[in-house]
Structure 1
């Protein structure tokens, strides 16, 4: 079992077949399914299986991904993949970080969440706008074995938000060296550079 702080070195391969995507976020499920498509994996979402959403009590992205994956694998009897990801703004001490979804409230209103980030940045003049996305992937089996992988992409925040693609905070995130926000990019362009794609490259190399 790979543990937090270890270098993840998979000792178990993932066989083709059904894999639970332990998320009720439709945008995240769609993106993960697209990334898994070429590998003979048949993704089924936690929502489709009526699996409950666990309380995210972890203090890191990896810990939250692990608890979601382990619960989904245990309840479904299938391997399960969970993603915990978020936006970390340097000038805000890494917020919203693991609370990225919670900043959007019960209604999952990310227009509100992006406005909260912008308002916090405007509390002092000339606040730096550097930020990064983190994605932790945890792959769990029903017997409790877990492998995890963590990806990252750096960028800056723009205002107003730009683009209607992607989800979450994508429309205000401009990756370093890019001219389009994640919200303006098509799926293929985002998959080439995103934090989720970075984590997936590690997962694919290790377990697929």
Structure 2
């Protein structure tokens, strides 16, 4: 069985991806599962640059170990707010300075949008997926979902900016809907549906 190595240790992200790919005859593994402790610096100017850099670094590590029958997949994703000229963008996970501090990131976003009218709070989540096979073949896909940034958090699910991001067709934030619902409409869900078509041809 081929292995899909996710170039991530983000638990929320890994759970979402495993759920979306459970119908495929492929073993989904995290970096931790593979015993890889590499922290790739995300210094690219675009989501694709960061995603590709992560996949290529992990590919090199696995090839160096003599591994075969694998596909590395990484994603770089984030939030783009129109009023803020695309911020936080590639800095979404470290918007407030500390990587992965959702609370502080959300607080900074709310402060920057303080007093901004609802119609000017449009935003989108963007997900860029980069896949590198054990034969060094490269593929990439993108997914996005549009929404509105609310003035306070709603919901207990999801992670990151989900509690602030209103998905208007449901009139709920991404933190208020089930994982099944989220996987159908989220930026990562859309990108993974595209990636699934690529995986079908590779497995």
Q: Pick from 30, 37, 49: which aligns with 2:15? A: 30
Aligned to 1:52: 38
Matched, 1:131 2:131: no
* Counterpart Cα distance in 2 of 1:104 and 1:80: 29
What is the TM-score when the length of structure 1 is the normalising length?
Answer: 0.87
Is 1:64 matched up with 2:50?
Answer: yes
* CA shift digits 1:113-145 (9 cap, x unpaired): 0110110011x5537110000000111123432
What corresponds to 1:193 in structure 2?
185
Pairwise CA distance, 1:207: 3.0
**What TM-score do the two structures reach when normalised by structure 2?**
0.89
Distance in 1 (alpha carbons) for counterparts of 2:116 and 2:44: 33
Is 1:42 matched up with 2:27?
yes
Give how far 1:179 is off.
Answer: 1.6
Alignment correspondent of 2:154: 162
Between the aligned partners of 1:24 and 1:115, the Cα distance in structure 2 is 24
Q: Is the 2:2–2:71 contact (alpha carbons within 8 Å) kept by the matching residues of 1? A: no
Residue of structure 2 in register with 1:10 after alignment: none
Equivalent position SS for 1:138: strand
3-state DSSP of counterpart to 2:175: coil
- Consecutive unaligned residues in structure 1, runs of 5 or more: 1-15
* 1:104 CA drift (Å): 4.9
Q: How many residues align?
A: 192
Assess if the C-alpha contact under 8 Å between 1:70 and 1:142 holds in 2.
no
| Equivalent residue for 1:148, pick from 136, 140, 151 | 140
Could you say if the C-alpha distance between residues 87 and 143 of structure 1 is closer, same or farther in structure 2, counting changes exceeding 3 Å? same
Q: Alpha-carbon deviation of 1:17?
A: 2.2
Deviations 1:160-190 (A, max 9, x none): 1111111111111011322211011110010
Distance in 1 of aligned mates of 2:126 and 2:199: 21
* Residue 182 (structure 1) aligns with: 174
Where structure 2 has 5 or more consecutive residues not aligned to the other structure, the ranges are: none
* CA 58–125 in structure 1, closer or farther in 2 if over 3 Å, else same: closer
C-alpha RMSD over aligned residues: 1.6
